[in-house]
Homo-oligomer: A and B are copies of this chain.
Amino acid sequence: MRIEIINPNTTKQMTAKIDRVARKYKRPETEITSVTASCGPASIENFFDEALGSVGVLEEIKRGQTRGFDGFIIACFGDPGLDAGRELSQAPVVGIGEAAMLLACTIAYRFSILSMPKRSLASLEELVRRHGLESRCASIRLLDVPVNELDANMNKVTRLLLNEARKAIEEDGAEAILLGCAGLGGLDKQLEKELRMPVIDGVVAAVKLIEALHDYGLKTSKFLTYKPPERKRVIGFPNIF
């Protein structure tokens, strides 16, 4: 089976990191194609970034329709363009925020999300509510580190994350930790070892869910909400139309 992973931001190093994480846990017969959005911001940290990032996601899902992918992954924890993407595709579309939360529900009573920056609280709370999982979310804990400075400060970031994770465990009752940003890719098993608690990278979770859906032959429902968009005149967006 063939999965396209879409990095909704335009930072190629992040795509490379996402690709590495995905390949580490994919099944041998799964083919991964990771792409960087052709337009959009260098990182997604606020509602404005999300709005622009959605366009890149939709371009790729649209283009991917003719290339026979069996599933699409939106590799940003805020799941930008998720519902719109499902309208465009019958092959399943899964967001990494959604995937991390759904898998977490099967191994922990409550999870905490670690992400950045602090301003994204409202956006992440809406994400949790959108998926209906408020009662399963112990807390959202946010660092004030810019996403694009993560790689240059990985040691410091790891230390800060461990610190917040420990607070989530002691103060909020977290039983699993979700890495709330694709830029934290690759830290899962390291943190898991330190914390002795499940730590979930949504990229992996999404790959595994798409494989699962594919094995069972489940595709996006084309009733009501996710019917294909009506054909109509669109101005601009040359990469989509």
**A55 and B58 in contact (CB under 8 A), knowing A106-B213, A229-B46?**
no
**What is the minimal beta-carbon distance from A235 to any residue of chain B, in angstroms?**
5
Contact at B175–A226, with CB atoms within 8 Å?
Answer: yes
| A131 proximal to B (CB < 8 A) | yes
Q: How many copies of the chain does the oligomer comprise?
A: 6
A132–B108 Cα gap in the complex (Å)? 13
Does the CB pair B54–A221 fall under 8 Å?
Answer: no
Q: A92-B107, A197-B223 are in contact. Are A47 and B83 (CB under 8 A)?
A: yes
* Nearest chain B residue, comparing its CB with the CB of A46: B229
Bound: A100/B218 CA distance, A: 11
Given contacts A39-B235, A132-B134, contact A225 B84 (CB under 8 A): no
**A contact residues, total (Cβ < 8 Å):** 95
Could you say which residues of chain B place their CB within 8 Å of the CB of A159?
A: none
Bound-complex Cα distance A119 to B229 (A): 10
- A106 partner residues in chain B, CB cutoff 8 A: 92, 94, 98-99, 102, 209, 213
> Which of A150-158, A179-187, A200-208 is the contact stretch?
A200-208
Q: A42-B234, A123-B225, A208-B215 are in contact. List 9 more A-B contacts (CB 8 A).
A: A46-B229, A47-B83, A51-B84, A102-B105, A107-B213, A107-B219, A174-B223, A198-B221, A211-B212
